[in-house]
Structure 1
């Protein structure tokens, strides 16, 4: 494990920079490499006040949250990791089930001496956030889940039947060879098909994220996130049976042209205090398609008494 982490860190140190421009974090944010649960996470930290943890999804990295982080830092300590094997975090040899990644978040917050936090998540980040929240309910003050289902929760089996979600079962070494060198072609399909208007996921963002996912091991890690869904569903059903529904306030946000109100349906199966929200004029990629509305919906919820 230490060898793999060291090799990953060495590669990142000498990798060429990603040149495309995406919304930048405020200059006061620092970046750190934090050892957590046997891997190394790339983390952005800024602001002062109660902590808020922002978790990204597939096809993006923690870079997606820059506009929200800038708004939250006025009265929060904002913590934004790249998930295990994604972004600039180390490519771990395993542990892509969401139970393990929830333990990553426990170790991260412990390293930062954070005892409680609001949690805001999107896409696969939702799945990590739920596994974290259900096992650590006293540590999560408010929870925001945005535009993606949670394995094993609510209408999960019906959601799986949607042909747009073919990529949930796409993976393995042959698929990795097919995609190698064609990462942009693969990712463009998601950015296009899951957008209300593909033009809103701009070229700079596409080039930026495609370059990151083209780094050695990162597509493998992405496929591993999806390959773990069956185990995630088993784990989540067990968590729900043992721990019961979440009690903290939950905002279930869906893109108007994507999951919309289905997000609230999913979370009402797993939480008792759910507020439904819709990001207008947006598909799945809420921070690219309608960042202003997303920031307002999230900050209003986190600031509510």
Structure 2
């Protein structure tokens, strides 16, 4: 059914600001929010109803810069780095998505935001789903982009796809294998899950590779995948107890990646699903076709205003 599947201290980072293209608008402010056993690096900008943007593996919150710039015209945009990734702290545990949903809760509480829309990609889908399932009254609209959710819909079928070898790749030996070779490891995802690899720029590759080379970052990345079995148990329990999500859901797939299968996955867990496909794009929608992605997400969010 799937065309392809997803790949699915901070002061020490000294890469120049111009290494990642494009940058966030200068109006965005950064802060470190201590919550739930981690310190979450958060960017906040704009004014209006709140929107939280959650990134996935192989990237950080920086991926959302073009969308954040557009939405900030009439939304308050909140962009965390997931625990263990980017400039957030690297705790030893807590990479199940139920715990990371608690990180989102802590960020929103610290910012005094009671209710928000969520826009998520890759691992961010899994964190966003866990948050929405636990706190449905705090979520207005939910947009998930190009990644399955553990335990939801055809999850077991998806796991059989050989492209998902990395779901079981982890542990100390694997960490030693990739130490100092983070760029080689990540290039495989950026290339194999792109419709046009050249659109994932060299500047962004260098930038993200440096972030993933920070102490503890690769361990944290492997831990994100190692938690999938527990995530599946948790998600099935959410659905058994509360039924399908009731808020409007936009399920977006890249044309050369999940495509319409993204909506098929989410219809197993949500009652009100709108299907979306980003043309001429693989998994890395914000690099491959940011214009279409921003337009589709904005149109969905604006319906709730």
User: Residue 228 of structure 1 aligns with which residue?
Assistant: 227
DSSP-derived class of the 1:271 partner? coil
Q: 1:16 aligns with which of 14, 17, 21?
A: 14
Give 1:18 shift.
Answer: 4.6
- Aligned match of 1:210: 209
Tell me whether 1:188 sits opposite 2:161 in the alignment: no
Are the counterparts in 2 of residues 22 and 208 from structure 1 also a CA contact under 8 Å? Answer: no
Structure 2: gaps (5+ residues):
1-8
Offset from partner CA, 1:112-165 (integer Å, 9 cap, x none): 110000000000000000000011000000000000000000000001111111
Contact 2:98 2:231 in 1 (8 A): yes
* Residue number in structure 2 paired with 1:48: 47
Q: Are the aligned partners of 2:200 and 2:288 in contact in 1 as well (CA < 8 Å)?
A: yes
What is the 5 A alignment of 1:95-244?
95-244=94-243
- 1:249 counterpart = 2:254: no
Q: Show CA shifts across 1:17-75 (max 9, x none).
A: 25623211111000000111121000000001000000000000000000000010011
Q: Aligned residue pairs: how many?
A: 295
Instruction: Note if contact 1:18-1:212 (Cα within 8 Å) is conserved in structure 2.
Output: no
Whether the aligned pair in 1 keeps the contact of 2:22 and 2:66 (CA below 8 Å) is yes
Q: Who is 2:294 aligned against?
A: 295
Superposed displacement of residue 13, structure 1: 2.2
Q: Which runs of 5+ in 1 are unaligned?
A: 1-8
Give 3-state SS (helix, strand or coil) of 1:143's partner: strand
Q: Contact 1:18 / 1:211 at 8 angstroms: preserved in 2?
A: no
Q: Does 1:281 align with 2:280?
A: yes
TM-score by length of 1: 0.95
- Partners of 2:15 and 2:207 within 8 A in 1: no
Matches of 2:54 and 2:211, distance apart in 1: 17
Partner secondary structure for residue 265 of structure 1: helix
Counterpart position of 2:6: none
Between 1 and 2, higher relative CO (CA 8 Å, sep ≥ 6) is seen in 2
Contact 1:29–1:44 (Cα < 8 Å) also in 2: yes
Which residue is equivalent to 2:36?
37
Q: Distance in 2 between matches of 1:153 and 1:21?
A: 34
RMSD (CA atoms)? 0.8
Contact 1:102 1:132 in 2 (8 A): yes
* Residue 238 of structure 1, CA deviation: 0.4
Instruction: After TM superposition, list the pairs within 5 Å mapping 1:74-89 onto structure 2.
Output: 74-89=73-88
SS of residue matched to 1:211: helix
- The SS at the match of 1:138 is helix
